[in-house]
Amino acid sequence: MHAMDALIREEVEAYSHHIPEFSVTGRRLLATKYSTKLKQLQESQRVFTLERDCALVQIVNEICEARAEALLSCDPLRMSPEEFVPTDEHLRRCPCLAGLPLAQLQKRFLILRNFNCRLQNSLSFIDFSINDDHSLLANGARALRGIIFQHVKLAWWLSVLKEQQSPAAARPEIEVDRHRAREATETTGDKESVFAQVFEQLHGIQPSLLRGADRAFKCQFVGEFGDDFGGLYRECLAQISSELQSTLLPLLKPCPNAVYGVGENREVFVPNAHLRKDSRLVQMAEFLGKLVGIAVRTKTPLDLNLPSVVWKLLVQEPVTRRDIERIHYGCFQVVDTIHNIDVHGITESMFDEIVDATFTVRSSTSHEDVELVPGGAHVRVKWDDKAEYARAVESYRLSEFRPVCDDIARGVATMLPAPTLGLFTWKELLTLVCGKATVDIDLLRRRTIYGDGCQASDPHIAFFWDVLGEFTDEQKSAFLRFVWGRSRLPTHAADFTQDFKISGLPKAAGRADMYLPIAHTCFFSIDLPMYSCRDVMKDKLLYAITHC
């Protein structure tokens, strides 16, 4: 391993200090010098597949993220093989690596680290706008997206975003009437909701004006006091996220598993596959894409529960049957049974009596039947059509959401350099847009400072962290929204634009149990009375996050 490390170091240092002159003789001498070690290394790496490499890089990313959250520096390109030590929990989440010796994993890390060291200097020379069929280089980078360190991707990608950034002075200002939005119903939501009001004011303006660094726009709530130093902006996006996943707006629908009460992921929403019949709804889908891009640019996560199929379509990863089955349990069961019906002892002569199916399939977001071929509602499936019918159903299911996701992608492309999204895995894009699904209280605690009349060792601060740690995920999100106007923490520790601040409440001195905590969402802070016991702390916090 040390021999390989030395060889890599010699090459990297030489490359870093001057324009390299690749000497064939020199490389042969190096190869001879380390030939035995390199052969042993090569033999030990034959067990690694792309799946295993992706899992290993996932662990590298998690190790670096954990160190960053602990405010420790961590550059995977400078990490030594000996520092790469996966925990049992890492390996539990990556079962494909189970049973491989640590030394073998460390050697593979060294190879992947070398690959990333070289790649970081090359990314800016790759034209990701070229189709895979016309660029082996872009195709290769996208195909290997899973083994590129997140550190390498983000360092390059964020520099690209910064080049397209608009100045704060160009930030548009909007007004939102939340009282009007509260009166909205299912029939008026596409006009009265917060989403609809923001859409009307922002969708028609020059997209480049929305590419701000910390906020895309300045928001004022009609009839409500408050200046927008970021809190109202975040509250606006949080309310939009909530509306999108309600009956107010037709853009997203509960997934089939939620509708029928079966399978997993029942909390997930899918794009309405039929909204393209209305041109205004198509524009709204594009605006949803703009909000996705805005969330990434301003590091203000959207609290959206969208399935893997949506994120895969946005980053151009292939959608699989498993992606569909996670949101539509049993959707292939009937068609698979028909396709393989002879296994069940059904013959051609019996088929027409038993199978009463036409070339149609039920939509995932409505009760409509969709024709798989022209006039499919009147074309019965015959014995010789079994395979064709199965292929048609599978093709429809795998592409059902593509048209709407293409609409969303057009909006994303106005905010982000869309071709470069292919460098990210679908899970990475999900995290960039939506942040962490659960509020990490330990991370929040590490990013907390204490103001006047309050310090970390105070008894009521201990009550506070105990109570917060016992909250449900929904209550934790509600608390975060109360103090910061957002439902999720930033994706990475480095993405915190400010620390959470807990201060005392002087006016409550001597009678703290009579007061509620006071939040300042624009400044991510809370004035916390010195409550007398844990139960009072819990009651006051729950009341505040529910009613204030």
Q: Is this prediction's pTM over 0.85?
A: no
Does the pLDDT at position 9 exceed 70? no
What CATH topology corresponds to 168-316+402-433?
Answer: Hect, E3 ligase catalytic domain fold (3.90.1750)
Q: What is the pLDDT of residue 19?
A: 53
Does the pLDDT at position 438 exceed 80? no
Q: What is the pLDDT of residue 398?
A: 96
Q: What is the mean predicted confidence (pLDDT) over 290-314? A: 95
For 502, phi then psi, to 5°, come to -110, 125
522 is catalytic: yes
Q: Which of 434, 454, 522, 533 is catalytic?
A: 522
Q: Residue ranges per domain, the chain? A: 41-156, 168-316+402-433, 326-400, 441-547
CATH superfamily of 441-547: Hect, E3 ligase catalytic domain (3.30.2410.10)
Q: Are 469 and 534 in contact (CB under 8 A)?
A: no
* Least confident window among 22-31, 56-65, 242-251, 413-422: 22-31
Q: What is the pLDDT of residue 144?
A: 95
Does the pLDDT at position 7 exceed 60? no
Q: What is the pLDDT of residue 12?
A: 47
Q: What is the pLDDT of residue 2?
A: 54
Q: What is the mean predicted confidence (pLDDT) over 221-246? A: 88
User: Does domain 326-400 sit in CATH 1.10.10?
Assistant: no
* Least confident window among 105-109, 135-139, 282-286, 539-543: 135-139
Task: Considering only residues 464 and 9, tell me which one the structure prediction assigns the higher pLDDT.
Answer: 464
Give 111-114's long-range contacts (Cβ < 8 A, gap of 24+): 111/4, 111/41, 111/45, 112/53, 112/56, 112/57, 112/60, 112/147, 112/149, 113/76, 113/77, 113/79, 113/149, 114/8, 114/12
CA–CA separation, 233 and 486 (whole Å) = 9
Task: Considering only residues 472 and 244, tell me which one the structure prediction assigns the higher pLDDT.
Answer: 244
Does the pLDDT at position 10 exceed 80? no
Does the pLDDT at position 228 exceed 80? no
**pLDDT 10s digits, 115-125:** 999 999 899 89
**pLDDT 10s digits, 40-92:** 888 888 999 999 999 999 999 999 988 887 777 789 999 999 999 999 889 98
pLDDT band, residue 174 (cuts 50/70/90): very high
Please give the structure tokens belonging to residue 124. 């800016």
Percent of the chain with pLDDT over 90: 64
